[in-house]
Amino acid sequence: MKNAAILLSLTLASMTAAQTPPAAPIAKPTTAAKAPESDVPACLTPAPRGDDGGKSRQDEVLRRVREAKAPVNVVFVGDSITQGWEDAGAAAWKRNFEPMGALQIGVGGDRTEHVLWRLQQAPLTPLDPKVIVLMIGTNNAGTGRDSGELIIRGIAAIVDLLHMQCPNAQVLVLDIPPRGLPINPLRGVVLQVNQALSQRAWGDHARFVRVADRFVLPDGRIDQAAMPDHLHFSPAGYDAWAEGIAPAVTSAMPKAKPAAQEPSAPQAPAPPADPPAASRTPRTGT
C-alpha cells in the first residue's frame, strides 16, 4: 500500500507538470525607432551647387553681392537665362538696365533650392534694392523631379525670402519662357506653372509679369530667331525680353519726390506802370 501511494503521488505530479504552460520569455527592451527623415521637398531645401560646373559661377555671384556698393536699384535673380545678360544679352543690358544701376546674379543651371541657398549665404539686404526681377524654375521642370505644384512652391519661397530681406523692394516674378517643341511634357509644365503664378495673390510686395508670350509663334512653335535651341535667348531674344521687362521695372521704381523749395522773402509791390501812350488821357491847359 505504501508503494502504491508513492506511485500515485508521482503520477499526479507528472500530470500537473505536463498541464502547466511554460513561462513566457521575458521581452528584451527594443531600441528607439529611427526618426523619419525630413519630408521637405528638395526644391524647398536650400542647397549649394555641387561639382556640376556651377560652383565657380555660384562663388562669383556670392562675391558680387558681398562686394557691391549700396544702393543697387535693380537686382536680377535667376539661372542661365539671367546670366546670359553678360553674353548674348550684353547690348540689351547696356541699353536698358545698366543706366538704372542694375546688378544681375544669374547662375546657369540653378534651381529654386540653389537660389534659396545663395540668398541665405549672401542676403540682398545691404544692397537695399528698389526692384528685384526673379525668373527661376525652368531647370526644376527640366529634371522631371519636381511637379508643377512644387515649382510654384519653390518660387513662392524665394519671393517670401526676398521680401523678408528687402521689405521695401518690389519683386517682379517673371513667367518661365517656353522650352522645347510645341507638344512635349516640359511645355505643358511651364504653361501650368505660369498660369498659376499669374493668378496667385502676391500682395503689395510682388507681382507677376508676363513676357514669354512674345517668343511663341501663332502655330505654337518657339521663334528660333529669339531662342535658337528652344531654351536660351539669342541677342534678338534678349532685345525682345528687355522690351517686355523694362516698362515693368520702370513702373515699379519709386517715384522721386519733388525737392522742397525754400520760402522766398516777401517782395515790395511794384509801382503801377504808366498806361500805354495811346491810352493816356491827353493833358489840357498850360
pLDDT tens-digit series, residues 202-237: 999 999 999 999 999 999 999 999 999 999 999 999
Residues annotated as catalytic are 80, 229, 232
pTM of the model: 0.78
Distance between CA atoms of residues 127 and 69, nearest Å: 7
Nine-digit cell string for 119: 540668398
Residue 276: is the preceding peptide bond cis (ω within 30°)? Answer: no
Whether residue 72 is contained in a domain is answered as yes
- Mean pLDDT in residue range 19-37: 46
Q: What is the mean pLDDT of the chain?
A: 84
Q: Could you report the per-residue pLDDT of 155-175, keeping only the tens digit for each? A: 999 999 999 999 999 999 999
pLDDT over 60 (residue 20): no
Identify whether 101 is part of a domain: yes
Domain containing 232 — which CATH number? Answer: 3.40.50.1110
Between 182 and 2, the higher pLDDT residue = 182
CA–CA–CA angle 123, 212, 104 (5° rounding): 25
Q: Is residue 29, in this structure, part of any structural domain at all?
A: no
Is residue 202 situated within a structural domain? Answer: yes
2 within a domain of the structure (yes/no): no
Q: Which of 172, 157, 162 lies closest to 97, judged by CA?
A: 172
- Specify burial of residue 201 (Cβ count, 10 A radius: 0-12, 13-18, 19+): exposed
Q: What is the pLDDT of residue 118?
A: 98
pLDDT in tens, 91-141: 999 999 999 999 999 999 999 999 999 999 999 999 999 999 999 999 999
Q: Are 96 and 242 in contact (CB under 8 A)?
A: yes
Range of the domain at 159: 42-252
Whether the CB-CB separation of 170 and 205 falls below 8 Å is answered with yes
User: Which pLDDT band holds residue 260 (cuts at 50, 70, 90)?
Assistant: low
- What is the grid cell recorded at 65? 553681392
Return the percentage of the chain with pLDDT > 70, whole number. 76
The verdict on residue 13 lying in a domain is no
Residue 285's φ and ψ, nearest 5 degrees, are: 80, -170
Specify if 135 maps to a domain. yes
Whether 78 is in a domain gets the answer yes
Contact 193, 187 (CB under 8 A): no
The tally of domains found in the chain comes to: 1
